[in-house]
Amino acid sequence: MLRIAVVGAGIAGLACARSLRNAGHAVRVFEKSRGAGGRMSTRRTDHGSYDHGAQYFTARDPLFRAAVDQWLAQGLVAPYAGRIVRLEQGEVIPLSHPEQRYVATPGMTAVCRALSADLEIDFECQITAVTPGESGWRLSWEEGGDSGFDAVVLAIPAAQASPLCVAVPDLAVQLRQGGHEPCWAAMVRYEAPLPLEFDAAFVESDVIGWVMRDASRPGRVPGERWVLHANAEWSKAHLENSAETVAPLLMDAFCAAAGFDAEAVEFRAHRWRFALSRGLNAGSFWHAGRRIGACGDWCADGRIEGAYLSGTGLAAKLRSAL
């Protein structure tokens, strides 16, 4: 049995940690925020929740489909049956070959919560350095650290992982190939149902790229709550703006693109600095000599499916290497 540290409790880190734990290793997960899920996160309010990061996922690979089948049986995910369209210059165009989409229930965090059950996780613990010591790797955080890890997994975005890799320059170089675009998200509630003939839309606009009625998904509290995602170019250009100034701009763009006029009764915005990655299609990275590796959506296809497969794939590499 080896002692393995996993940094990051998103779906990649948790899938990796669970697989290593099932193989009999002693795994400790470190997560900087208060809960598991990363970009599959859910914001709760008095009027229902918003999934302000990933909104749904698809399942193409047989390994991931098998995991999704299990989650379906456990009631952790459900097929999405909402009306998805494309919005182009005010025209509503139905998707011609809609792919089956899934959502976690009752919020996108549900899958990660289930994956994190029984794992040893230190929340609100941001790893600031990973350094080699006499007895294995040492991980440091603001108020302390722990040594003696036989292996380390960095399951965090590439830009956050490469500074933790300074002790292994050749791995750091590989990590620097990965990257993410930012995304501003707005969570908006209207008093009455909007006069729209769709539940979600890919939007052609200078500002927003995607909108979804949160409660069009199974397991959600009813209500007219919408999540609006700005496109990557707009998000980049307005990255350092305040959330207070961004939310109204996204709402105006939604009204203009969908052709309605309604005042929101509640709104807030969230800045995702590392939102979407084109993905390196490399699966995962593992430095066998130094026993440190990296996984996450950016190593694979930039989606939830890729993140999960990257995490389980790295765990398989570790199991055969160790």
246, 231 contact by CB (below 8 A): no
DSSP-assigned states of every residue in 143-174: TEEEEEESEEEE-S-HHHHGGGGTTSHHHHHH
Strands 43-45 and 48-50: antiparallel
- For ligand FAD, which residue of 4, 5, 7, 119 counts as binding (CB under 6 A)? 7
As to burial, measured by CB atoms within 10 angstroms (0-12 exposed, 13-18 middle, 19+ buried), residue 94 is exposed
- For ligand FAD, which residue of 5, 183, 196, 280 counts as binding (CB under 6 A)? 183
Residue 187 pairs in a beta bridge with 227, 268
Question: Is position 55 an interface residue for ligand FAD (rule: CB under 6 A)?
Answer: yes
CA distance 151 to 187: 39
Q: Interface mask (CB under 6 A) for ligand FAD, residues 221-260, using x and -?
A: --------x-------------------------------
Q: How far is the CB of 268 from ligand FAD (least distance, A)?
A: 14
With CB under 6 A as the contact rule, which of the stretches 28-36, 75-83, 169-177, 244-252 interacts with ligand FAD? 28-36
Size of site (CB under 6 A) for ligand FAD: 37
- For ligand FAD, which residue of 5, 17, 211, 276 counts as binding (CB under 6 A)? 276
- For ligand FAD, which residue of 4, 8, 85, 235 counts as binding (CB under 6 A)? 8
Q: Interface mask (CB under 6 A) for ligand FAD, residues 95-134, using x and -?
A: -------------------------------xx-------
When the beta carbons of 202 and 262 are compared against ligand FAD, the nearer one is 202
Question: Is position 39 an interface residue for ligand FAD (rule: CB under 6 A)?
Answer: yes
Question: Is position 304 an interface residue for ligand FAD (rule: CB under 6 A)?
Answer: yes
- For ligand FAD, which residue of 297, 309, 312, 313 counts as binding (CB under 6 A)? 297
From 115, 104, 116, 108, select the one nearest 77 (Cα to Cα): 104
- For ligand FAD, which residue of 76, 115, 275, 292 counts as binding (CB under 6 A)? 275
Q: What are phi and psi of 215, to 5 degrees?
A: -80, 5
When the beta carbons of 33 and 262 are compared against ligand FAD, the nearer one is 33
With CB under 6 A as the contact rule, which of the stretches 20-28, 52-60, 84-92, 257-265 interacts with ligand FAD? 52-60
Contact partners, residue 261, CB within 8 Å, separation at least 6: 255
DSSP 220: P
Reported as type and span, the H/E element at residue 213 is: strand 208-213
Strands 285-287 and 264-276: unpaired
Strands 200-204 and 84-88: parallel
CA distances to 57, 109, 132, 255, 267 from 179, rounded to whole Å, are 20, 23, 26, 32, 29
When the beta carbons of 193 and 214 are compared against ligand FAD, the nearer one is 214
Question: Which residues form the interface with ligand FAD (CB under 6 A)?
Answer: 7-13, 30-33, 38-40, 53-57, 126-127, 155-157, 160, 183, 185, 229, 272, 275-276, 296-297, 302-304, 307
